Amino acid sequence: MALTLSEVAELLHALPVADPQCRGDAVVGPVVMDSRRVRPGDLFAAVPGGCSDGHDHAGQAVARGAAALLVQRWLDLPVPQLRVRRVRRVLAPVAAALQGHPARGLRLVAVTGTNGKTTTSLLLHAALLSAGGRPGVIGTLGSRLGSEVRASALTTPEAPELQELLRWMADGGGRDVVVEASSIALEQGRLDGLEVDLAVHTGLEEEHLDFHGTIEQYWASKAALFARGRCRAALVRVDDPWGVRLARQLEVPCTTFGSAAGADVRLERVSTGLGGTSVLLSGADGRVQLDVPLLGRVNGVNATAAYLAARHLGLSREQARAGVATAVAPPGRHSLVVADDAPLVVVDFAHTPAALRELISTGRELAAPGRRVLLVFGGRGERDRAKRADLAGVAAGADLLVLTCDTTERESPEQVLAEYRLGLLGRDVPLIVEQDRRTAIALALAAGQAGDVVLVAGRGAEVTLTLHGRAQRFLDHEVVEELLELREPAPAA
């Protein structure tokens, strides 16, 4: 939807953070943040960032045909400009207006929480699809509408891309859209101006404190999604104090769920095995058993959230129950790799203490009687240094720990591993430290036997590993399969 720059400024007058001022006027199309993606007629948003400032790239945007600029300071460039106090804080409303407010024709479900966002979103998408709908989903694994998939670099895309995706879905016949809402996206205002029909909270533990500073601020970023005017109803897991606190303060209709006594919908029993996960619920629908073809007890929680969200959107009890059962396990989330005469391997994204603890527990359930759980866990660099000791302490719950490297970006791998090892002081766990991740996985597979379970944790479906500033393709699942193919067959009895 094309607007003039002065019309965009008029829209922003209601925002106290804006204070819009125009120099010149022009008809502008969509707003774009990346100067390399600018097309003739676009409005280029010069967003200051931690590593670069969009103002420094405005000249390139003009050269590519930008009709006007959205800036925080006037630039000596020959195009109309709209100056505001903070570009990032107005991106969402500007992007929505220039896309014709696509969310107004959609029902939105936003899923947030430290763990479970991706799987819960895909389970809900599967239920809606099974019921005959044409749902969309936007998240870590990209965006999907029908059979069409679009890639995205972020769990929750920046506001211009998010609004573009919502327009694509609205124009493509979508009605219900599930959006993963990360805490950073919420803090940066990428979902500003959207009122979702249902906000889902899957639980919270310490994460992203390198960005938020404190767990209190991390929680506050997520809690903002549940304010009146941001959501019409809420679904909150109350198995941790943060969920209990959130549910108590809400001013919108709220359904609580979890294993805790007093939850509106209670998980009475959860069991998991190679065939999937079953959960028995009790609540307003009476007693309901959900069976999903996903491994891991945590998927009992994810399935419950998806079932309840589907019911909220109008699916019948049977449609919702049967629909979540059609889901396909997302890559890198409790993914199994099975080979003859070899340990069972589970590749998972677990990178928080609670998720890692759940993964080890799942490994115990899958291991044959008397057999071991071996864990390959990588130290992630430049992120949440404060939780490294806690992660190492949880990892010590395995029978053998192979400590290795995940992406360390520019941080020294040796330093990252040293800090994880501090968390193992006083822990009686057999330990192998191997910086090279492929070698580490090979060592764990060589140490395991049939009946054992090898857990490869921390990366899930991530495809790039960066050490010493150099990126390389590295997909845990692929590496495991390659190494198992090279494995020497067990000697004949």
Each residue's pLDDT tens digit, 231-285: 999 999 999 999 999 999 999 999 999 999 999 999 999 999 999 999 999 999 9
In a domain, 492, yes or no: no
477 shares its domain with 392: yes
Domain termination site, one of 324, 345, 380:
324
Note the pLDDT tens digit of each residue in 138-186.
Answer: 999 999 998 789 998 899 999 999 999 999 999 999 999 999 999 999 9
Q: Which of 181-195, 358-372, 417-431 is the least confident region?
A: 417-431
Cα 388 from Cα 398, distance rounded (Å)? 16
In a domain, 41, yes or no: yes
203 shares its domain with 339: no
306 shares its domain with 339: no
Q: How many CB atoms lie within 10 A of CB 78?
A: 7
108 shares its domain with 193: yes
The CATH number of residue 457's host domain is 3.90.190.20
> 229 Cβ partners below 8 Å, 6+ apart?
195
Counting every residue written for the chain, the total comes to 493
- The answer to whether the Cα torsion of 170, 172, 174, 178 is positive or negative is negative
Cα 309 from Cα 486, distance rounded (Å)? 45
The CATH number of residue 234's host domain is 3.40.1190.10
What is the predicted pLDDT for the residue at 492?
Answer: 45
265 shares its domain with 129: yes
What is the predicted pLDDT for the residue at 423?
Answer: 87
Domain termination site, one of 293, 324, 355:
324
Note the pLDDT tens digit of each residue in 289-343.
Answer: 999 999 999 999 999 999 999 999 999 999 999 999 999 988 888 999 999 999 9
In a domain, 134, yes or no: yes
| Mean of pLDDT over the chain | 93
Q: Percent of the chain at pLDDT above 70?
A: 97
Cα 164 from Cα 160, distance rounded (Å)? 6
The CATH number of residue 63's host domain is 3.40.1390.10
Q: Are 45 and 91 in contact (CB under 8 A)?
A: yes
In a domain, 92, yes or no: no
305 shares its domain with 385: no
**How many domains, the chain?**
3
In a domain, 393, yes or no: yes
Helix (H) or strand (E) holding 223: helix 215-223
Note the pLDDT tens digit of each residue in 64-98.
Answer: 999 999 999 999 999 999 999 999 999 999 999 99
Domain termination site, one of 62, 86, 110:
86
Q: Which domain range does residue 76 map to?
A: 3-86
What is the predicted pLDDT for the residue at 209?
Answer: 66
Rounded to an integer, what is the distance from CA 417 to the centroid of its chain? 25
Does residue 493 carry a pLDDT above 50? no
261 shares its domain with 162: yes
381 shares its domain with 459: yes
Cα 303 from Cα 117, distance rounded (Å)? 11
When pLDDT is cut at 50, 70 and 90, the band that residue 384 belongs to is low
| In the block, residue with structure tokens 């071996």 | 374
212 shares its domain with 235: yes
In a domain, 380, yes or no: yes
In a domain, 47, yes or no: yes
73 shares its domain with 49: yes
In a domain, 146, yes or no: yes
372 shares its domain with 479: yes
157 shares its domain with 184: yes
